[in-house]
Amino acid sequence: MNINELIAQPEGRRLEFKGELPTNSDIAKTIVAFANDAGGDIYIGINDKPRQIIGLPENELTQIEEQISNMIYDRCYPTILPEVSFLSVEEKHLIRICIYRGSMPPYYLKEKGKLKGTYIRVGSTNKLADESIIASLERKRRNISFDSEIIMDKPASSLIIDGFKELYKEKTEEEINLQVLRKLELIKLEQDKEYPTNALILFSDDSLRKSFFPNAKIECARFKGIGTEEFIDQKSISTHIGLQAEEAYNFVLRHINKSATVEGIYTVSRWEYPVKAIREIIRNAVVHRDYSLTGKDIKVAIYDDMIEISSPGLLPPSIDYSAMESRQSDARNKVIAPVFKRIGIIDQWGNGLKLVAQELREYPEIELKWREVGLSFQVQFIKKNYKTIPTNVGDVGDVGDNVGDVGNIDNNISYNELKIIQLILHNPNITTKEIAETLGISTRQCERIIAKLKQSGKLLRKGSARTGYWEINNN
């Protein structure tokens, strides 16, 4: 990336612009925050707002470089070794300070000490780290993960893990015993007793999970329209983490459309979103979320115009969503990730993002966006051609591009009739009550619309009222 392209970038997790050398405390906070996180670059001689190349006096460059080096040495601890270089753009002189990701975190301001002087980078700002974040940085320094730490409130033999045992047997055809738990590092020896790690607590059905990790859950919601003012359906998934991803994925499938088109003699169905990619992102959210962050849960939100998945914890520095085609694997949870690989929930070779990129190529109408919001990572699957439905058609949401994908249905069909047909194409066994709840209408109104569709011959009922199914008549 050349300097002109760089200047067009917004300030963020790894980039900051300064018109002139700021006060010692201001720039020291940024340097400490970069070293504690993914590293970053500071460009001096470029104003941020408005973005403008100001430049520095050429005869002062060496003096400013010396000031920077002395300030970093005097004010930051442990020692940070920056790379300072001079650049010339449009005959103006700049200084670039490159800070690499540190190997000895937490880094902090000497005069304030570790508890009051440790900073992390959140978006384009420096945030004072609290004790839990400092603890996380100290684990990083020792190269241990939060999920590998033990809980000594109950011996491993007393922990209730029946659900996890059942799942593990189903996926691997192996029984869970103490030897397997040791091999997977789900239990560890301490003071001649074996105790569970945080990872095993999260896989358990024990009361300790709710006590230690009340927010280790997924909150799912289908909102009405494109805002959060009103929802059609919601679900809180608080089972053990081995089951959460599939439950959230099934919630998504219940609330998106599946169209059908005829190609030759075959009927071809297609989801309105790349569901394999969505499933992969949900799985990654469960596997790689930061379980040490208290009070935060995973959120799966479905709107008329997009699906949004948010997970606690920033993206690991070595993962780059802009290079999804390359194999990338960096596990925050070094015990949980191998277990998920063992039971086949995530890929062994870091192909997850590549899978997402491949399926997105088949959905040119869907745009993938990702961003870091506070201490969370968020992925959005957005309909590029979303159009708001006129208020006189109904309030259920967007018909999208599926209007022409339900066969030979005529153009006189109402909005709610079309939505019912789409729901039935997705699930021929759906009940009238489920249709009404999804559309946000009364059961009686739903029954009247279905009766009209049956009377016109567009909808057929096969079998009994209790055990039968719906069929769309395209003739």
Grouping H, G, I as helix, E, B as strand and the rest as coil, residue 243 is: helix
User: In this predicted structure, which of 54-68, 164-178, 193-207, 409-423 has the lowest mean pLDDT?
Assistant: 409-423
List pLDDT tens digits, range 268-305: 788 999 999 999 999 999 999 999 988 899 999 999 99
Query: Contact 104/78 with Cβ under 8 angstroms?
Result: yes
Distance CA 435, CA 443 (A): 8
Beta-bridge mates of residue 406: 260
* 443-455 helix and 432-439 helix, angle to the nearest 10 degrees: 110
Q: What are phi and psi of 412, to 5 degrees?
A: -85, 0
Q: Which domains does the chain have, with CATH numbers?
A: 3-139 (3.30.950.30), 146-212 (no CATH), 218-383 (3.30.565.60), 406-472 (1.10.10.10)
Grouping H, G, I as helix, E, B as strand and the rest as coil, residue 118 is: strand
Of the CA atoms within 13 Å of residue 337, those in its CB half-sphere come to 18
Distance CA 54, CA 47 (A): 7
Taking every pair of Cα atoms in the chain, the longest distance, rounded to a whole number of angstroms, is: 90
Query: Contact 67/61 with Cβ under 8 angstroms?
Result: no
Query: Contact 22/75 with Cβ under 8 angstroms?
Result: no
List pLDDT tens digits, range 227-273: 888 889 999 999 999 999 999 999 999 999 887 666 666 667 889 99
Of the pLDDT bands very low, low, confident and very high (cuts 50, 70, 90), residue 318 is low
Say whether pLDDT at 467 is over 80: no
DSSP string of 2-44?
-HHHHHTSPPBTTEEEESS---HHHHHHHHHHHHHTT-EEEEE
List pLDDT tens digits, range 42-68: 999 998 888 889 999 999 999 999 999
Query: Contact 409/402 with Cβ under 8 angstroms?
Result: no
Q: List b or e across 222-255, with b for residues whose CB sees 16 or more CB atoms inside 10 angstroms.
A: bbbbeeeeeebbebebbebbbbbbbebbebbebb
Please state the separation of Cα 199 from the chain's center in Å.
20
